[in-house]
Chains A and B, each alone.
Chain A
Amino acid sequence: SAVISQKPSRDICQRGTSLTIQCQVDSQVTMMFWYRQQPGQSLTLIATANQGSEATYESGFVIDKFPISRPNLTFSTLTVSNMSPEDSSIYLCSVDPGQGAPGILNTEAFFGQGTRLTVV
């Protein structure tokens, strides 16, 4: 298993500012992911945080808006830049501790408790 610590747990921010969310894992993990969950909606994958290289973004998400760092195998940050009220969401970090056979995801993922962001 993996224990994930996300900071901050919640924040209220002014529009136009940026917020950096931290995700710390208690063990080295292969894969780290960032999700967004808008009010009343399901989770949407933002990007895969790659250790030592640029993150891989999903359609509709760009690096300028959501820069991601992953300096090592236990830590990642997501920045929400130039925020607007539409960015008000819960942002979640997720990790997959290991890998199954190449190309096959067969281990369970773990999620942090999320960062509840309100932009005013």
Chain B
Amino acid sequence: DAKTTQPPSMDCAEGRAANLPCNHSTISGNEYVYWYRQIHSQGPQYIIHGLKNNETNEMASLIITEDRKSSTLILPHATLRDTAVYYCIVPIRGAQKLVFGQGTRLTINP
């Protein structure tokens, strides 16, 4: 997979926007950026994915820079239940599999 770099941990206050960065400077033209999260003792959960344009769904927004070398996952109004490890993944084109890095451990504080 294209190498991704994420900060190991972040804190955010409840009710504020949580902005999680990811660097993927070696991404290729047709490779998507995926975000998953894993809440303690659960299986990973899909959040969002994108190619070039910014994306938004009921869970989050994904902002991808114009050069596609980095992206930011935004949780607009973080709650305590958003405390989890967040993974940014860029699958290798043609591989059709997800390879997880170490992710960012996000802690939402009351």
Question: Which residues of A are at the interface with B, using a C-beta cutoff of 8 A?
Answer: 4, 31, 33, 35, 42-45, 48, 92, 94, 96, 99, 103-106, 108-114
Does B101 touch A at the CB level, under 8 Å?
yes
Interface residues on B, range: 20 to 34
The reply to whether B97 and A31 contact each other, CB–CB distance below 8 Å, is: yes
Q: In the bound complex, do residue B100 and residue A43 qualify as a contact, i.e. CB atoms below 8 Å apart?
A: yes
Given contacts A43-B100, A94-B98, contact A114 B32 (CB under 8 A): no
Q: Does A42 lie within 8 Å of B87, measured CB to CB?
A: yes
Q: Given A42-B87, A106-B32, A106-B49, verify A92-B97 contact (CB < 8 Å).
A: no
Expressed in whole angstroms, the minimum distance between the Cβ of A3 and any Cβ of chain B is 12
Query: Residues of A contacting B95 with CB < 8 Å?
Result: 105
Instruction: Indicate if the CB atoms of B42 and A113 lie closer than 8 Å.
Output: yes
Complex A-B: 25 CB contacts under 8 Å: A4-B43, A33-B98, A35-B100, A42-B101, A42-B102, A43-B44, A43-B100, A44-B100, A45-B99, A45-B100, A48-B97, A92-B43, A92-B44, A103-B93, A103-B94, A104-B94, A106-B32, A108-B34, A108-B49, A109-B36, A109-B44, A109-B98, A110-B46, A111-B45, A114-B43
